[in-house]
């Protein structure tokens, strides 16, 4: 049962709703059906199914301060007037069971569900469970917009709560189970596939939807298997072909490896041979120690003369090295002098070459001067002959003057014509610039309009197609037809678009506006009936509301932060503006700022406005039916999507007219230019003729004078060229003298250079002689030192007799041990390990996993170091012949062989799996399975599929309830919620639906049912299993501490008993 709620005044101008706390003495009786015409109020009782709601508790939630609801196990009918808080209980069920705020369609943030003025809110749901009831608590923090979850008073996470709720088969996001008030219209919008999935989740076992999903995935998996088999087969063939290409390289690699194995065996035997040689040397040293004693005496006697000779040689060596350094210094100085002489000789050669080149230039200049003199004399002779034959000059001046006058007149006309052409060109350029500017403005307008049309096409394709049809068929309409409102509205400021889009529903934003009912019927018949397009159309009022003044001046509202009415935020055609003012009162709805939101309570109380917009919120103010007090609700503004683009259509039409006028002027200018060009061309031709005639007359007149001037000029040039003479013989003599002097200097320099070279050669010879002497002395010294050191070494060894011989023996013994150790390391033998038989007789087999070479015995290999080194060199040469081999090729080959084998097995498994799929799974398109609801409401019509467009709102509500009732007995979910679905029904259908709900939801073994309604018809049938929950509001409600149900029942009984006595 639900406790009654009441409305009590608070400190703010707005009144808040407070629900009474649950108390044994404060339960509200529910309606029960009895024999009397009016149902009696009895306490509900009955078995709860697993997951049914036993209790709902709310604190500071939406309209409630504190409220607790205790529903019954079957049908729960929640009744109350609009605004009393019925849908708040639905919101509490959704949010308390981990539902998302978007499921209710009210707000997108959970903090908006906390009562205004409160910082925290709480919802607690108690669910029935046979093992012990489950209590889920959700605390909401407004500041952080966060929720804190508790299960049975213990803190938990939302994920765990969702798992617990899902385990009880509760699906608040499934419209077949949970249908809030704002989502009733969404049910008819479900596609057939979505409806099937929602029905499966609602009535089917938990695994039904999972099996269906698996069936849908089977065909996809079969295609994936086919693709995988095909890809793996192609890949396997490529791998086999690639391995065949590398097979020869692998065989060459193993041939090289056999040579390397032999090299390894030779390197293993070599330390053993070295060891054997040292051991034999050790034996020889032991035998030679008896012969050392006699040699000691001879060595001591031979050391004295050696020491004296070595001292003499050392002194001689120092003298020779000093002389060699002195000779080297002299050679360096002489070489530098030679280099200097060579540089001077090269400069002399270069000077001679420059003198010869200057002489050649002067010779060429003289030859050229003689040639020019000859040519000038010939030209003078020709000009004199022409002057003799020239005619006498005629009197041509009158003809020249006449032609000059005609030419001046033609030039004046031509200048005038060209001036007019320039003016016309400037006028054309000005018009073209204007045209370009206008075109650019039109293109920008078109781009903006195209953006709006693109948004319309993407969101509402049918409306966009209808716009295209309208533009091509405007002649079919008698009066003005406006395109969809979202295209005709032009925002003055894009930032204010969100207010218009939040105020005008999207269905009207995409509606066409007509001035005539006849035009609208023609349009809908063609577009909706013939073309099957889903479009909306409205009729503008006959009397225009576009200029209707608001009931209150904006100046009165500016003190609250309001800056405009909605109508002043945009421009629109008169029919559109008239319709919006009439339908949505945009001339009466003010728009405020953040300042308005800060003092919203004062604004609501003082202005009594019905709708208010602030910077980010919309407020709707209503007057309570019970208390006559103001009740406000607010919602966050959604971001604008369509009206953010601004297009001034009137300005665009003005630009098009301006463009037509510019084109007309351009045609006139082009025509005038063509005429002027023809005239100018004729004048140009006439001017050229006159100039040619004048030129011929002037040439005839001035020819004799020109010839005389030319002859005089040529004679002057000839005289200058004859005076500018050059004596080539003198120049050649001077050049020869200078060259001779330079050659004498060169000869002297060459002699000096020769002497220096001889001196340098002599010094080199002396230096070489000294170096040879020094080398002989050093060689003799080294020999003496070697002999002395050998004798001293031998003397030290023999002086100690058996001790030194024993040390020598120890040294050899140590060397033998080192060689033995090295030999063991090469053969991988430990220090304490005896030499195995195979190392004494044969080389161990080196396994390589592929064509291993046969074992070769040590005794078959050479026994001397020279033979072993020679064989090693030979084998290394053979191994080096195998170039270009990469060990990774063999690794890749082996790895690829294994991969081919593995891939073959995988391919076989995939094909077996694919065959099993094809044998066990039928070829069905499970992803296209769905449920179609087909209804008809008149016997004369056919069944039609339930859609959000074909049926009316009431028909969709009836169809939805019929389908939900059909699922009720099959339903596996613990409860179902339907909020105000009877709003659009007529009384007949409402009564029939109510009877069906009561009969279906009150049967045995049915799940819990919540039916929310603000109204009830009279004389409806009720069941004893149903629970009626009343939600009361008003200023005359009792205080919570005065509510006593038992006292009310006693008073009722006293009234009933006293009536017969009266």
pLDDT score, position 647: 62
How sure is the predictor about 663, in pLDDT bands with cuts at 50, 70 and 90? confident
Measured CA to CA, the distance from residue 40 to residue 1047 in angstroms comes to: 17
Structure tokens at 530: 């013939």
**827, pLDDT greater than 80:** no
Query: Are 243 and 900 contacting, i.e. CB atoms less than 8 angstroms apart?
Result: yes
pLDDT score, position 852: 31
- 10 Å Cβ neighbour count for 677? 13
pLDDT score, position 123: 93
How sure is the predictor about 590, in pLDDT bands with cuts at 50, 70 and 90? very high
Using only C-alpha atoms, what is the Rg of the chain? 60
**23, pLDDT greater than 50:** no
How sure is the predictor about 858, in pLDDT bands with cuts at 50, 70 and 90? low
Q: In sequence order, which residues have a C-beta less than 8 Å from that of residue 649 and are 6 or more positions away?
A: 488, 490
Q: Classify 953 as helix, strand or coil.
A: helix
Q: What is the mean predicted confidence (pLDDT) over 225-248?
A: 77
Measured CA to CA, the distance from residue 1033 to residue 623 in angstroms comes to: 13
Measured CA to CA, the distance from residue 1009 to residue 884 in angstroms comes to: 84
pLDDT score, position 307: 81
More confident of the two residues 594 and 1039: 594
- 10 Å Cβ neighbour count for 716? 10
Q: Which of 586, 511, 584 is nearest to 547 (CA)?
A: 586
Per-residue pLDDT tens for 960-1001?
656 655 655 555 678 878 777 666 676 777 777 777 777 777
Of 282-296, 617-631, 811-825, which range is least confident?
Answer: 282-296
Q: What interhelical angle do 953-968 and 192-203 show, nearest 10? A: 30
Per-residue pLDDT tens for 895-916?
777 788 888 888 788 777 777 7
More confident of the two residues 958 and 584: 584
Measured CA to CA, the distance from residue 110 to residue 64 in angstroms comes to: 16
pLDDT score, position 465: 92
Q: Which pairing describes strands 120-127 and 134-141: parallel, antiparallel, or unpaired?
A: antiparallel
Q: Which of 751, 767, 733, 757 is nearest to 359 (CA)?
A: 733
Q: What is the mean predicted confidence (pLDDT) over 187-195?
A: 58
pLDDT score, position 951: 60
**384, pLDDT greater than 50:** yes
3-state secondary structure 621-680: EEECCCCCCEEEEEEECCCCCCCCCCCCHHHHHHHHHHHHHHHHHHHHHHHHHHHHHHHH
Q: Which of 1015, 882, 900, 1058 is nearest to 255 (CA)?
A: 882
Degrees, nearest 5: CA angle 717-718-719 = 90
pLDDT score, position 564: 92
In Å, how far are 228, 230, 893, 903, 911 from 899, measured between CA atoms? 16, 17, 10, 6, 18
Q: State the DSSP string of 803-815.
A: HHHHHHHHHHHHH
Q: What is the mean predicted confidence (pLDDT) over 828-832?
A: 68
Question: For residue 631, which phi and psi values (nearest 5 degrees)?
Answer: -125, 125
Mean confidence (pLDDT) of the chain: 77
**708, pLDDT greater than 80:** no
Measured CA to CA, the distance from residue 162 to residue 783 in angstroms comes to: 103
Percentage of the chain beyond pLDDT 90 is: 9
How sure is the predictor about 7, in pLDDT bands with cuts at 50, 70 and 90? very low
Q: In sequence order, which residues have a C-beta less than 8 Å from that of residue 327 and are 6 or more positions away?
A: 763, 766, 767, 770
Most confident of 9-13, 613-617, 837-841: 613-617
pLDDT score, position 125: 92
Of 432-436, 513-517, 1029-1033, which range is least confident?
Answer: 1029-1033
pLDDT score, position 703: 67
Measured CA to CA, the distance from residue 357 to residue 474 in angstroms comes to: 97
Question: For residue 719, which phi and psi values (nearest 5 degrees)?
Answer: -65, -40
pLDDT score, position 8: 32
Number of helices and strands in the chain (H, E): 25, 27
- 10 Å Cβ neighbour count for 329? 10
**848, pLDDT greater than 60:** no
More confident of the two residues 235 and 956: 235
**11, pLDDT greater than 50:** no
Query: Are 90 and 43 contacting, i.e. CB atoms less than 8 angstroms apart?
Result: no
More confident of the two residues 583 and 376: 583
How sure is the predictor about 521, in pLDDT bands with cuts at 50, 70 and 90? very high
pLDDT score, position 311: 83
3-state secondary structure 393-430: CCCCHHHHHHHHHHHHHHHHHHHHHHHHHHHHHHHHHH
**How many residues would you count in the chain?**
1062
Per-residue pLDDT tens for 767-810?
888 888 888 888 888 888 887 787 777 676 667 776 767 777 78
In Å, how far are 15, 17, 332, 625 from 628, measured between CA atoms? 11, 14, 126, 6
More confident of the two residues 4 and 743: 743
Query: Are 268 and 826 contacting, i.e. CB atoms less than 8 angstroms apart?
Result: yes
Per-residue pLDDT tens for 1013-1062?
877 777 788 888 888 888 876 666 766 667 777 787 888 788 766 554 44
Percentage of the chain beyond pLDDT 70 is: 76
- 10 Å Cβ neighbour count for 278? 17
pLDDT score, position 540: 92
Query: Are 97 and 35 contacting, i.e. CB atoms less than 8 angstroms apart?
Result: no
At which residue do the structure tokens 């088969």 appear? 169
pLDDT score, position 517: 92
Q: Classify 33 as helix, strand or coil.
A: coil
Q: What is the mean predicted confidence (pLDDT) over 14-42?
A: 33
More confident of the two residues 612 and 920: 612
**651, pLDDT greater than 80:** no
Q: In sequence order, which residues have a C-beta less than 8 Å from that of residue 956 and are 6 or more positions away?
A: 184, 185, 187, 188, 946, 948, 984
What does the CA dihedral 425, 427, 431, 432 come to, rounded to 10 degrees? 20
Structure tokens at 496: 């204010």
Q: In sequence order, which residues have a C-beta less than 8 Å from that of residue 822 and are 6 or more positions away?
A: 271
């Amino acid at each position: 049962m639900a406790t009654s709620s009441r409305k009590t005044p608070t400190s703010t101008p707005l009144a808040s709703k407070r629900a009474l706390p649950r108390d044994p003495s404060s339960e509200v009786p529910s309606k029960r059906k009895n024999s009397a015409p009016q149902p009696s109020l009895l306490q509900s009782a009955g078995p709860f199914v697993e997951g049914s709601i036993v209790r709902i508790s709310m604190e500071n939630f939406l309209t409630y301060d504190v409220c607790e609801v205790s529903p019954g196990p079957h049908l729960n009918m929640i009744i109350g007037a609009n605004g009393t808080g019925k849908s708040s209980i639905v919101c509490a069920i959704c949010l308390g069971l981990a539902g998302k705020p978007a499921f209710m369609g009210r707000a997108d943030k959970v903090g908006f569900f906390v009562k205004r003025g409160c910082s925290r809110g709480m919802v607690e749901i108690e669910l029935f469970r046979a093992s012990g009831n489950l209590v889920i608590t959700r605390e909401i923090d407004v500041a952080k917009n966060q929720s804190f979850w508790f299960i049975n008073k213990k803190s938990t996470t939302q994920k765990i709560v969702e798992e617990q709720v899902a385990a009880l088969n509760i699906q608040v996001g499934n419209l077949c189970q949970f249908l809030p008030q704002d989502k009733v219209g969404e049910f008819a919008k479900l596609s057939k596939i979505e409806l099937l999935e929602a029905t499966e989740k609602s009535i089917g076992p938990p695994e039904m939807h999972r099996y269906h999903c698996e069936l849908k995935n089977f065909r996809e998996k079969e295609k994936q298997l086919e693709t995988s088999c095909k890809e793996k087969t192609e890949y396997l063939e490529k791998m086999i072909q690639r391995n065949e290409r590398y097979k020869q390289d692998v065989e060459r690699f193993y041939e090289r490896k056999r040579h390397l194995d032999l090299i390894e065996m030779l390197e293993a035997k070599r330390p053993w041979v070295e060891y054997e040689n040292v051991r034999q040397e050790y034996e020889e040293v032991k035998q030679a120690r008896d012969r050392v004693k006699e040699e000691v005496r001879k060595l001591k006697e031979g050391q004295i003369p050696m020491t004296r000779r070595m001292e003499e040689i050392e002194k001689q060596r120092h003298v020779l090295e000093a002389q060699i350094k002195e000779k080297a210094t002299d050679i360096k100085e002489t070489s530098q002098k030679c280099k200097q002489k060579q540089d001077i000789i090269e400069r002399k050669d270069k000077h001679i070459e420059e003198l010869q080149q200057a002489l050649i230039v002067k010779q060429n200049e003289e030859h050229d001067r003689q040639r020019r003199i000859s040519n000038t004399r010939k030209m003078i002779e020709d000009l004199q002959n022409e002057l003799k034959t020239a005619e006498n000059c005629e009197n041509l001046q009158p003809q020249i003057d006449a032609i000059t006058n005609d030419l001046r007149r033609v030039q004046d006309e031509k200048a005038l014509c060209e001036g007019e052409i320039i003016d016309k060109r400037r006028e054309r350029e000005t018009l073209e610039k204007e045209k370009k500017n206008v075109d650019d403005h039109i293109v920008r307008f078109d781009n903006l309009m195209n953006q709006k049309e693109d948004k319309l096409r993407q969101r509402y394709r049918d409306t966009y197609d209808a716009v295209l049809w309208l533009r091509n068929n405007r002649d079919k309409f008698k009066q003005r037809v406006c395109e969809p409102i979202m295209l005709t509205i032009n925002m003055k400021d894009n930032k204010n678009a969100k207010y218009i889009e939040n105020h005008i529903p999207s269905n009207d934003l995409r509606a066409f506006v007509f001035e005539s009912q006849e035009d609208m019927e023609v349009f809908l018949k063609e577009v909706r009936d013939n073309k099957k397009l889903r479009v909306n159309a409205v009729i503008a009022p006959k009397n225009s509301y576009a200029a209707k003044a608001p009931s209150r001046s904006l100046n009165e509202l500016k003190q609250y932060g309001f800056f405009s009415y909605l109508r002043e935020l945009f421009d629109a055609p008169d029919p559109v503006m008239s319709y919006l003012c009439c339908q949505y009162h945009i001339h009466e709805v003010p728009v405020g700022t953040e300042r308005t939101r800060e003092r919203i309570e004062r604004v609501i109380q003082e202005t009594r406005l019905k709708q208010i917009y602030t910077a980010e919120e919309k407020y709707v103010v209503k007057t309570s039916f019970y208390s006559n007090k103001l009740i406000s609700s607010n919602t966050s503004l959604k971001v604008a999507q369509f009206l953010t683009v601004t297009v001034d259509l009137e300005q665009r039409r003005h630009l098009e007219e301006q463009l037509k006028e510019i084109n007309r002027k351009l045609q006139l200018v082009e025509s005038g230019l063509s005429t002027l060009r023809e005239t100018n061309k004729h004048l140009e031709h006439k001017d050229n003729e006159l100039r040619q005639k004048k030129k011929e007359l002037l040439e005839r007149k001035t020819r004799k004078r020109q010839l005389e001037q030319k002859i005089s000029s040529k004679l002057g040039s000839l005289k200058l060229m004859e005076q500018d003479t050059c004596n080539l013989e003198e120049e050649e003599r001077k050049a020869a003298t200078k060259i001779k002097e330079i050659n004498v200097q060169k000869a002297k320099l060459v002699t000096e250079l020769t002497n220096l070279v001889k001196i340098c050669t002599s010094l080199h010879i002396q230096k070489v002689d000294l170096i040879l002497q020094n080398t002989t002395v050093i060689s003799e010294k080294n020999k003496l030192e070697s002999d002395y050191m050998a004798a001293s070494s031998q003397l030290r060894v023999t002086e100690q007799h058996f001790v030194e011989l024993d040390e020598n023996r120890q040294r050899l013994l140590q060397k033998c041990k080192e060689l033995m150790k090295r030999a063991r390391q090469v053969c991988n033998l430990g220090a304490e390990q005896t030499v195995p038989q195979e190392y004494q007789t044969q080389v161990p087999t080196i396994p390589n996993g592929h064509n291993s070479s046969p074992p070769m015995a040590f005794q078959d290999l050479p026994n001397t170091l020279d033979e072993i080194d020679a064989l090693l060199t030979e084998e290394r040469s053979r191994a080096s012949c195998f170039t270009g081999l990469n060990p990774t090729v063999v690794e890749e080959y082996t790895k690829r062989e294994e991969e081919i084998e593995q891939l073959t097995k995988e391919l076989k498994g995939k094909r077996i799996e694919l065959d099993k799929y094809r044998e066990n799974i039928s070829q069905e398109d499970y992803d296209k399975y769905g449920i179609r609801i087909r209804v008809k409401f008149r016997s004369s019509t056919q069944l039609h599929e339930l859609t959000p467009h074909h049926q009316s709102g009431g028909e969709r509500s009836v169809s939805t309830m019929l389908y939900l009732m059909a699922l009720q007995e099959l339903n596996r979910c613990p409860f179902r919620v339907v909020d105000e679905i009877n709003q659009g029904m007529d009384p007949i259908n409402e009564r029939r639906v109510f009877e069906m709900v009561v009969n279906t939801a009150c049967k045995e073994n049915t799940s819990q049912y919540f039916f929310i309604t603000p109204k009830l018809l009279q004389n409806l049938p009720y069941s004893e299993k149903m629970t009626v929950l009343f939600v009361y509001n008003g200023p005359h409600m009792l205080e919570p501490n005065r509510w006593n149900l038992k006292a009310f029942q006693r008073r009722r009984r006293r009234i009933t008993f006293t009536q017969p006595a009266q």
